[in-house]
Chain A
Amino acid sequence: MASIEFVNVTKEFEKKEIIKDLNLRIEDGKFTVLVGPSGCGKTTLLRMIAGIGPQTSGSVLLNGKDISNIAPGKRGVAMVFQNYAIYPTMSVRENIEFGLKNNKVNKIERKKLVESISEAVGLSEYLGRKPSTLSGGQRQRVALARAMVKQPSVFLMDEPLSNLDAKLRAQMRIDLIELHKKLGTTFVYVTHDQVEAMSMADTIVLMNQGLIQQEAPPEEIYHEPNNIFVAQFIGTPPMNIGELGVDGVRFGFRPESVTASTEPVESPFTLQGEVTTREMLGSETLYQIRYKETSFMIKSLIDKFSVNQKIHIGVNSDKLYFFADDGDRIHKDHIHYRDYFEALRGY
Chain B
Amino acid sequence: MSKTIELKKKVLSENDALAAELRATLGEKGIFSLNFVSSPGSGKTSLLERTLRELKDELNITLVAGDVQTENDANRLIAAGGEQVKPLVTGGSCHLDARMIHRLLPEINLDNTDLFIVENVGNLVCPSGYDLGEDMKVVLISVTEGDDKPLKYPSMFRRSSVMVINKIDMLELCDFSMERVRENALRINGDLKIFETSCRTGEGLEEWYAWLKEQVKQKKA
Bound pair (A, B): no
